[in-house]
Amino acid sequence: MSYSVAYKDIGQKDYKETWDYQTDIFTKLVESKKQGNGGGTSTYSYLPGTFIFVEHPHVYTLGKRGSENNLLLDNIQLRAKDASFYRIDRGGDITYHGPGQVVGYPIFDLEVIKIGLKEYIYLLEEAIIRTVAEFGISASRLEGGTGVWLDPEIIGKARKICAIGVKASRFVTMHGFAFNVNTDLSYFNNINPCGFTDKGVTSLEKELGVRQDFDYVKSIVKKNLQEIFDLEWINQ
């Protein structure tokens, strides 16, 4: 049985506003499970999941176990870059979000989908791997690091095209992935991306040498997510 998911493309939106928005949806789903209305019951009497597509203004976010030393800017320099900074409640270390980056926030009940957190992250990676493959790019995973990488095992050439960081409570997820499409990669120079000091970042635009149709790329990501997770999109 397909998993029903409300699809929300909210366009360009401030990071904190979006964080609050997805937290509200996440909390309602978790509370519903606490009250017994959800969690893979035999009658499927659960709230649907939600998937949010968004594009953020310049912002750096640091996961709960990350080190602020991986942010290489002070507050004055952040303001000069027209960027903000948040320590947040997902896994992972530091990353950057900004214009030209496809950000996806799945708020899914993994008990309904019948997968664990490790497999969930693997499948998110798979959706992006399949997406870049449609553009003729071979991507894979890096042992010991989440996300989607190009040439991950080649010293000096490994570069990340998509970062992944999630939070889960009662098997309900939030946060998600950040896929570099037409991203200004110079903003990554101000951090040690995901805590790495010896690996680079890239984008679809950089790899292909031409600016990409942003909405078309989103449509490919959406299609691959639907196929991989067996989703039924609904409008709310």
What domains lie within the chain, and their CATH numbers? 3-234 (3.30.930.10)
Q: What is the mean pLDDT of residues 181-187?
A: 95
Q: What pLDDT is attached to residue 43?
A: 39
Three-state secondary structure call for residue 203: coil
| Paired tokens of 51 | 């998937």
CA dist list (Å): 218 to 11, 21, 102, 178, 213? 11, 20, 7, 12, 9
At 192, the pLDDT band (50, 70, 90 cuts) reads: confident
Determine if the pTM surpasses 0.75.
Answer: yes
Q: Beta strands of 31-139 (E only): which ranges? A: 49-55, 59-62, 84-87, 94-97, 101-107
Check residue 194 and report its DSSP letter. G
Does position 166 have pLDDT exceeding 90, yes or no? Answer: yes
Q: Where are the alpha helices (DSSP H) in 134-213?
A: 204-208
Among 23-27, 30-34, 73-77, 197-201, name the one with the lowest average pLDDT. Answer: 197-201
Q: Where are the alpha helices (DSSP H) in the chain?
A: 15-34, 75-80, 110-113, 117-133, 204-208, 214-229
Q: What is the mean pLDDT of residues 167-173?
A: 94
Instruction: Please name every residue paired with 111 in a beta bridge, in sequence order, or none if there are none.
Output: none
Return mean pLDDT, the chain. 90
Q: What pLDDT is attached to residue 12?
A: 96
Instruction: Give yes or no: 162 in active site.
Output: no
CA dist 229 and 236 (Å) reads 20
- Active-site option among 47, 194, 217, 220: 194
Q: What is the pLDDT of residues 18-48, one digit of tens each?
A: 999 999 999 999 998 888 754 544 434 578 9
Q: What pLDDT is attached to residue 198?
A: 64
At 194, the pLDDT band (50, 70, 90 cuts) reads: low
Q: What pLDDT is attached to residue 35?
A: 82
Q: What pLDDT is attached to residue 42?
A: 42
CA dist 17 and 149 (Å) reads 29
* CA 100, chain centre distance (Å): 14
Closest by CA to 217, choosing from 209, 206, 228, 205, is 205
| Percent of residues, the chain, with pLDDT higher than 90 | 68
